[in-house]
Chains A and B, each alone.
Chain A
């Protein structure tokens, strides 16, 4: 299994296509950082416009933590496409190249084959998020410095102390890795059914877009299915940035306002991953390799 996983990772990282995602993330983040570095104050003033008459804020709003939050909100919508680019190619790409039949004539079980490929796609996803964290968090901290983070929510504002932020990002990135692994599992599952990568990549993105629309629309009939859609739970990383307050309305360090939501979302995403990987195994073990 370990050998198979090594081979799969070797194949992934020898393909030029793999690096498109890393280059795309680097380009997007550096452009946003550059823009905020140049015009950050105006952007902050725009964001805080409603509060400027009622609240006086000292310190740097446009600090590295805030920039990272902005970047995550922007990028975690687009990263699924970059994940699908690899995950949805894992089986269909082999079928397209004709290497699937050669691989399966080797003394490896189909279960091991599928699991090794899925774990390789997961490792790729995690590495992509680590790269995202390095650029979005650490690079932003270096460029913009650190301070307390001030966030505007729908009908309230949250201020998180400087020393209370970093672990929240660690948690948010871990959760984002889980959410993106769900996307990888979906893409991986769909890649069983095609002999070229385009179909599964487009299908993965279509499912995500469709479910996201259902997740965000407040229509009663959709509200019934929302709790079961993985897209509803993919944004639960934001829960890390909702802090409990005491009776004086002061934030309590080291707390999350609704940890139950976070736990619930974690289990639902894990259930989706197990379902997609289980379904992949079931389909692939019965599959006739005709490519």
Chain B
């Protein structure tokens, strides 16, 4: 059985009267490339900062490598490499000096040869001794990743790693993530507000909006064109839910929010669902299939807020 590298339960963060993360629960297994998706301000960075102890949660539990984060912070962070938002480093130092400095902070002594290998992996060897203030955004991003990897962590957390990059830079980061996952068997959490970026690398995806979980599941299932998500509005949702829970549709029910019931099912089963709803005396106001995850995500990110939570 795969070890749970990250286990988050009921994570909540309030900033004065703003709820940035709201009762969020998810888990990441060893070897996953976990795509953390949501529009800007959805709560991705706040969640990632809580995973890295930069922000204290208002409530909820975080376990990394099976250990409570607050109690084993130091031990846990030795196994974690991260780039949080912009990869800011000391601009008055060279890439080599920055890497050496952060390697020492991570508690590892690394030879010059190994440091140069790390820089080679992110394509910075030629500029290794130049001051970072002369670097492009893409080069800084790659240096940030080299710093995250310098102590050979088993969990890598990359918050919006492709922000501000040109198409070639985005492709380079994508290839690096795939390399780290497949060749070095790292567990990776990567956040983005672009579905197109996440779907190419992630094995599992979590979409959040306004700090709440929207959907979580295996990429293969979420992107399966035969599967769809159905939003159901009825006259009496409590009665409808009771009926559905006692029917063959019980396994398709996803957590609901506000006034919408959500079911995940094969597209071909929609007519049968329709018939069964009638036979169960459920008075349907609307039954709306979402054709794909992208369709659904676009709807969420376009600000149409009648979409509700459902999980795999």
Contact = CB atoms under 8 A, between A and B. Distances in A.
B49 A14 contact: no
A105 B104 contact: no
Contacts of A11: 90, 101
A102 B102 contact: yes
B165 interface: no
Nearest to A103: B105
B220 to A, nearest CB: 31
A104 interface: yes
Contact of A99 (B53, B55, B88, B97): B88
A10 B84 contact: no
A97 B105 contact: no
A109 interface: yes
Interface residues of A, number: 24
A258 interface: no
A104 B102 contact: no
Interface hub of A16, A102, A109, A286 (most chain B Cβ within 10 A) = A102
A259 interface: no
Dominant secondary structure at the B interface: loop
Interface in A1-40: 3-4, 7, 10-11, 14-16
Contact of B89 (A16, A102, A105, A106): A102
Given A10-B101, A106-B106, A98 B86 contact: yes
Contact of A102 (B73, B84, B91): B84
B268 interface: no
Nearest to B97: A14
B77 interface: yes
Nearest to A108: B105
A290 interface: yes
A14 B82 CA distance: 25
Interface string B99-136: 00110111100000000000000000000000000000
Interface string A171-185: 000000000000000
A14 B93 contact: yes
A221 interface: no
A107 interface: yes
Nearest to A285: B56
Contacts of A14: 90, 92-93, 97
A99 B54 contact: no
B78 interface: yes
A104 B50 CA distance: 12
Interface in B43-73: 49, 52-56, 73
A101 interface: yes
Interface in A76-130: 97-99, 101-109
A4 B54 contact: no
Interface in B6-57: 49, 52-56
A97 B55 contact: no
B275 interface: no
Interface in A273-290: 286, 288-290
A105 B191 CA distance: 17
A15 B92 contact: yes
A289 B105 contact: no
Interface of B: 49, 52-56, 73-75, 77-78, 80, 82, 84-93, 97, 101-102, 104-107, 144, 147
Interface of A: 3-4, 7, 10-11, 14-16, 97-99, 101-109, 286, 288-290
Given A97-B88, A289-B49, 18 more contacts: A3-B104, A7-B104, A10-B101, A97-B91, A99-B89, A101-B52, A101-B54, A101-B85, A102-B84, A102-B88, A104-B54, A105-B53, A105-B54, A105-B84, A106-B77, A106-B105, A107-B107, A108-B74
7 contacts: A14-B93, A97-B91, A105-B77, A105-B80, A109-B74, A286-B56, A288-B49
